[in-house]
Structure 1
Amino acid sequence: MNIHQPLTLNPNTFWCRAIAQTLASLGVTDIVTSPGTRSAALVSAFEERSDCRMHVLTDERSAGFFALGLAKSLKRPTAVCVTSGSAVANLVPALCEAHANATPLVALTCDRPRSLRGAGQPQTTKQAEFCAPLVSRLIDLSDPDASPEGLERLVAELLTIAPHLVDQGARGPVQINIPLLGRMTSVDGAHGWGVSPPPARPIAPSFPAPRALVEIDTIAKTLDLKPGLKGLIVVGPDEDLPIAAIGRLAARTGYPLLLDAPGGLRGARLPGAVAEADFLVTRREVFALKPELLIRIGPAPVSAGLQQYVGACRAPVLRVDRRSVEADYLNDAFRVLPLHDHAALDAVAERLDRGDTAWREHWLDMARACRAALPQAVATGGWSEIQVADIALRRPEFGFTHLANSLAIRLGNLLTGLDGRERPVHANRGVAGIDGTIATFLGEAVGTAKPGLLLIGDLAATHDLSSLEACLRADCRGAIVVMNNDGGGLFDLLPVRGTPAYRPYIRHSAGVDFRRIAQAFGLGFDRCGSIEQLDAALDRAVRPRARLRLIEAVITPGAITTELRDLIGRLSSHDATKTRNHPASPVSTPAEA
Structure 2
Amino acid sequence: MTHQIRLTRYMANFVDQVYQSGVRNVVISPGSRSTPLALTFAEYDKFKLWIDIDERSASFFALGIAKKQKEPVVLVCTSGSAAANYYPAIIEAHYSRVPLIVLTADRPHELRDVGAPQAIDQLKLYGDYVKWFHEMALPSDAPKMLNYVRNQADRAVRTAIKPNFGVVHLNFPIQEPLLPDFSIPEIWNHKSSTTIALEPNYRIDQTAVRQLTKMIGNNKKGMLVCGPDDKNGLADAIIRLAEEWNIPVLADPLSNLRNGPHSKSHIIDCYDSILKLPEVRELIDVDFVIRTGAMPISKPYLQLLQEKMDVVHFILEEENGYREPVGLNTHFIYGNPVHLLNELANAEITCDQANLTAWQTWNKTAKAILSDRSNDKELTEGHAVQGIQTAIPNDHIVFVGNSMPIRDMDSFWFAEDKNVEIYANRGTNGIDGIISTAAGMSATGNHTTLLVGDISFLHSMNGLLLARKYQLPLTIVLVNNDGGGIFSFLPQAKQQSPHYELVFGTSQSMDMEKLAIAFDFTYFSAGNWQEYIDSLSRSYEQKGLSIIEIKTVRTQNVLWHQQKWNAIGEKIINQIKGNEDVL
Q: Deviation at 1:537? A: 2.2
Deviations 1:152-174 (A, max 9, x none): 11222332234433333x42111
Q: In the alignment, what sits opposite 2:516?
A: 518
Matches of 1:340 and 1:509, distance apart in 2: 47
Query: 2:31 aligned with 1:36, yes or no?
Result: yes
Q: In the alignment, what sits opposite 1:229?
A: 220
Q: In the alignment, what sits opposite 1:242?
A: 233
Note closer, same or farther for the CA distance 1:228–1:519 as it changes in structure 2 (3 Å cut). Answer: same
Matches of 2:346 and 2:162, distance apart in 1: 26
Q: Secondary structure at the match of 1:233?
A: strand
Matches of 1:28 and 1:194, distance apart in 2: 25
How do residues 138-177 of structure 1 correspond to structure 2 at under 5 angstroms?
138-168=133-163, 170-177=164-171
Query: 2:173 aligned with 1:179, yes or no?
Result: yes
1:251 to 234, 240, 243: 243
Note closer, same or farther for the CA distance 1:123–1:546 as it changes in structure 2 (3 Å cut). Answer: same
Query: 2:289 aligned with 1:294, yes or no?
Result: yes
> Do 1:228 and 1:352's aligned partners in 2 also have CA atoms closer than 8 Å?
no
Q: Secondary structure at the match of 2:550?
A: strand
The range that moved more, 242-251 or 456-465, is 242-251
Determine what percentage of the aligned residue pairs are the same residue. Answer: 24
Q: Deviation at 1:496? A: 1.2
> Do 2:245 and 2:345's aligned partners in 1 also have CA atoms closer than 8 Å?
yes
How do residues 460-539 of structure 1 correspond to structure 2 at under 5 angstroms?
460-497=456-493, 498=495, 499-539=497-537
> Do 1:572 and 1:578's aligned partners in 2 also have CA atoms closer than 8 Å?
no
Note closer, same or farther for the CA distance 1:247–1:331 as it changes in structure 2 (3 Å cut). Answer: farther
Q: Deviation at 1:188? A: 7.4
Q: Deviation at 1:378? A: 7.1
Q: In the alignment, what sits opposite 1:325?
A: 321
Q: In the alignment, what sits opposite 1:586?
A: none
Q: In the alignment, what sits opposite 1:444?
A: 441
Q: In the alignment, what sits opposite 2:552?
A: 555
Matches of 2:375 and 2:327, distance apart in 1: 38
Matches of 1:135 and 1:211, distance apart in 2: 26
The range that moved more, 260-269 or 451-460, is 260-269
> Do 1:167 and 1:208's aligned partners in 2 also have CA atoms closer than 8 Å?
no
Deviations 1:216-239 (A, max 9, x none): 534653671434332211111222
Note closer, same or farther for the CA distance 1:69–1:221 as it changes in structure 2 (3 Å cut). Answer: same
Q: In the alignment, what sits opposite 1:591?
A: none
Query: 2:302 aligned with 1:307, yes or no?
Result: yes
Q: In the alignment, what sits opposite 2:338?
A: 342
Q: Secondary structure at the match of 2:242?
A: helix
Q: In the alignment, what sits opposite 1:391?
A: 387
Q: Secondary structure at the match of 1:224?
A: helix
Note closer, same or farther for the CA distance 1:341–1:372 as it changes in structure 2 (3 Å cut). Answer: closer
Q: In the alignment, what sits opposite 2:361?
A: 365
CA RMSD of aligned residues (A): 2.6
Instruction: Output the amino acid matched with 2:517.
Output: Q
> Do 1:99 and 1:135's aligned partners in 2 also have CA atoms closer than 8 Å?
yes
The range that moved more, 118-127 or 224-233, is 224-233
Deviations 1:451-486 (A, max 9, x none): 221110000000000111112221322410111101
> Do 1:253 and 1:349's aligned partners in 2 also have CA atoms closer than 8 Å?
yes
Matches of 2:109 and 2:318, distance apart in 1: 36
Note closer, same or farther for the CA distance 1:367–1:40 as it changes in structure 2 (3 Å cut). Answer: same
Instruction: Output the amino acid matched with 2:179.
Output: V
Matches of 1:345 and 1:334, distance apart in 2: 18
Q: Secondary structure at the match of 2:254?
A: coil
Matches of 1:378 and 1:409, distance apart in 2: 24
Q: In the alignment, what sits opposite 2:43?
A: 48
TM-score (norm 2): 0.91
Note closer, same or farther for the CA distance 1:378–1:421 as it changes in structure 2 (3 Å cut). Answer: farther
Structure 2 residue runs of 5 or longer lacking an equivalent are none
Note closer, same or farther for the CA distance 1:252–1:14 as it changes in structure 2 (3 Å cut). Answer: farther
Deviations 1:254-284 (A, max 9, x none): 2110001113210133451110101110242
Note closer, same or farther for the CA distance 1:256–1:446 as it changes in structure 2 (3 Å cut). Answer: same
> Do 2:448 and 2:475's aligned partners in 1 also have CA atoms closer than 8 Å?
yes
Q: In the alignment, what sits opposite 1:428?
A: 425
Q: Deviation at 1:16? A: 1.6
The range that moved more, 493-502 or 216-225, is 216-225
Note closer, same or farther for the CA distance 1:457–1:412 as it changes in structure 2 (3 Å cut). Answer: same
> Do 1:299 and 1:321's aligned partners in 2 also have CA atoms closer than 8 Å?
no
Q: Secondary structure at the match of 1:262?
A: helix
Note closer, same or farther for the CA distance 1:316–1:532 as it changes in structure 2 (3 Å cut). Answer: same
1:96 to 91, 96, 117: 91
TM-score (norm 1): 0.89
Q: Secondary structure at the match of 2:372?
A: helix
> Do 1:10 and 1:195's aligned partners in 2 also have CA atoms closer than 8 Å?
no
Instruction: Output the amino acid matched with 1:522.
Output: D
Matches of 2:17 and 2:537, distance apart in 1: 45
Q: In the alignment, what sits opposite 2:266?
A: 272
Q: In the alignment, what sits opposite 1:588?
A: none
> Do 2:468 and 2:545's aligned partners in 1 also have CA atoms closer than 8 Å?
no
Q: Deviation at 1:346? A: 2.5
Q: In the alignment, what sits opposite 1:401?
A: 398
Work out the number of aligned pairs and report it: 568
> Do 1:225 and 1:352's aligned partners in 2 also have CA atoms closer than 8 Å?
no
Q: Secondary structure at the match of 2:255?
A: coil
> Do 2:244 and 2:350's aligned partners in 1 also have CA atoms closer than 8 Å?
yes
Note closer, same or farther for the CA distance 1:574–1:326 as it changes in structure 2 (3 Å cut). Answer: closer
Matches of 1:280 and 1:341, distance apart in 2: 28
Matches of 1:135 and 1:90, distance apart in 2: 15
Matches of 2:187 and 2:252, distance apart in 1: 53
2:566 to 534, 555, 569: 569
Instruction: Output the amino acid matched with 1:358.
Output: A
> Do 2:401 and 2:425's aligned partners in 1 also have CA atoms closer than 8 Å?
yes
Instruction: Output the amino acid matched with 2:156.
Output: I
The range that moved more, 482-491 or 105-114, is 105-114
Q: Deviation at 1:554? A: 1.4
The range that moved more, 426-435 or 363-372, is 363-372
Matches of 1:558 and 1:112, distance apart in 2: 53
Q: Secondary structure at the match of 1:330?
A: coil
The range that moved more, 322-331 or 78-87, is 322-331
> Do 1:31 and 1:80's aligned partners in 2 also have CA atoms closer than 8 Å?
yes
The range that moved more, 247-256 or 550-559, is 247-256
Instruction: Output the amino acid matched with 1:171.
Output: F
> Do 2:524 and 2:547's aligned partners in 1 also have CA atoms closer than 8 Å?
yes
Q: Secondary structure at the match of 1:483?
A: strand
Q: In the alignment, what sits opposite 2:129?
A: 134
Q: Deviation at 1:292? A: 1.7
The range that moved more, 331-340 or 217-226, is 217-226
Q: Secondary structure at the match of 1:160?
A: helix
Instruction: Output the amino acid matched with 2:418.
Output: R
Deviations 1:519-544 (A, max 9, x none): 2222101233333432332232122x
Q: Secondary structure at the match of 1:267?
A: coil
Instruction: Output the amino acid matched with 1:204.
Output: T
2:253 to 250, 261, 280: 261
1:117 to 112, 119, 122: 112
